[in-house]
Amino acid sequence: MTRAKIAGIGYYVPEKVVTNQDLEKVMDTTDEWIQERTGITQRRYGNKYEETTATMGARAAEKAIERAGITKEDVDFIIFATLSPDYYFPGCGVLMQRELGITKTEIGALDIRNQCSGFIYGLSVADQFVRTGMYKNVLLVGAETHSYGLDFSTRGRNVTVIFGDGAGAVVLQPTESDQEGILTTNMHSDGTYAEKLAYINPGCHGGYHFEHNLNEEVDFGYPDVEYGGLFLTQHMMDHAQTFPNMEGQFVFKMAVQKFPEAIHEALQTAGLEKEDIDMFIPHQANLRISQFVQRQLGLKDEQVWNNIQRYGNTTAASIPIALSEAVEEGAVKEGDLVCLAAFGSGFTWGAALLRW
């Protein structure tokens, strides 16, 4: 039976380190508050004019491609997951294709918008394409440049302190061996709480969800004209409606419920037990969430890869960065059962099990 395996993996984080103390200088926050609530001590931020979500994705992709022992021209499908794309459209998939210098047009480039679950969703899509024999070298990238769009005033502190920039990439190839590869993936979604963790404006919602779904009156300052003017208004900018918002405690409660559910489902599908897991690589949402899930699974500290302390939450990039680091540092060895899981905006969540 053909399975997909990760044949090459790499990551890239920008050089600029921003510590909690740096953030103390621009907003009312403290290193103590941030560390206690999230475990984060520092994060990386991209350099404007030099780094974007697509270019960082390309840097990570180059490493993954090289380690897979292929060339850029061998890539036959691109999947790019991000919530902080360079442009509203076109997506980062084609921008990264250009950045990589891939001129071949026989390949497709698919953009995935599943926020923190983006990498798991991408892995699941790639897995299906490889299993069916459709593609032989799928390049899957998760990348984010949060720092360009966050609110650095005290108003935005609950969100801003959490997020960081970076990229991770994998190349997926077919394998006939039953000793390696992706064993199972699952994906879940529930739109009920879409706005609990969301970046709403600018957007083409026209106020609909606030009028019809939310029992909430929000003034977006729409102009009194027949056509247009709804995507981005001066009012939105003046009233700080153009930043991500998050109901932290609600998100936390959902996350600690959905992470374990997705993992148990994956284990059950694969006919395995939680004791079989050698390494757990959670989406780096918050150290406290990862520790909670670790306890639920009964895993030792050395069986969980946490790097949120150094990079913050890099959303779609966090799993491939963490997996890449764990592999580079020898914490994931051949034959290990690796469990990946994510939860985030949407809400969307999911898990994957793979034999390294």
In the complex with ligand COA, the residue whose CB is nearer, 241 or 284, is 284
Residue 57 is inside which H or E element, if any?
Answer: helix 53-67
Residue 53 near residue 302 (C-beta atoms within 8 A): no
**Alpha-carbon gap, residue 122 to 80, rounded angstroms:** 8
Interface positions, 272-301, toward ligand COA (CB under 6 A):
285-286, 289
Among 17, 33, 66, 151, binds ligand COA (CB under 6 A): 33
Beta bridge partners of 139: 78, 171
User: Does residue 156 belong to the site contacting ligand COA (CB under 6 A)?
Assistant: no
Q: Which of 20, 286, 313, 339 is catalytic?
A: 313
Alpha helices in 68-216 (DSSP H): 92-100, 118-131, 157-160, 208-212
Among 17, 19, 29, 310, binds ligand COA (CB under 6 A): 29
**Alpha-carbon gap, residue 306 to 318, rounded angstroms:** 10
User: Does residue 303 belong to the site contacting ligand COA (CB under 6 A)?
Assistant: no
Contacting range for ligand COA; rule: CB under 6 A; set: 68-76, 222-230, 235-243, 247-255: 247-255
Is 313 in the active site? yes
**Interface characters, 161-200, with ligand COA (x: CB under 6 A):** x---------------------------------------
**Alpha-carbon gap, residue 297 to 42, rounded angstroms:** 28
In the complex with ligand COA, the residue whose CB is nearer, 46 or 344, is 344
Q: Is 345 exposed, middle or buried (0-12, 13-18, 19+ CB in 10 A)?
A: buried
User: Does residue 249 belong to the site contacting ligand COA (CB under 6 A)?
Assistant: yes
Is 201 in the active site? no
**Alpha-carbon gap, residue 355 to 313, rounded angstroms:** 25
Q: Which of 20, 92, 114, 116 is catalytic?
A: 116
Q: Which of 92, 283, 286, 339 is catalytic?
A: 283
Starting at the edge strand found earlier in the chain, the sheet holding 77-81 runs 3-12, 166-175, 138-144, 77-81, 108-112
**Alpha-carbon gap, residue 10 to 322, rounded angstroms:** 10
Compute the least distance from the CB of residue 34 to ligand COA, in Å. Answer: 6
Q: Is 5 helix (H, G, I), strand (E, B) or coil?
A: strand
Compute the least distance from the CB of residue 158 to ligand COA, in Å. Answer: 4
Would you tell me which residues interact with ligand COA (CB under 6 A)? 29, 33-34, 37-38, 116, 157-158, 161, 246, 248-249, 251-252, 255, 285-286, 289, 313, 344
Active site residues: 116, 283, 313
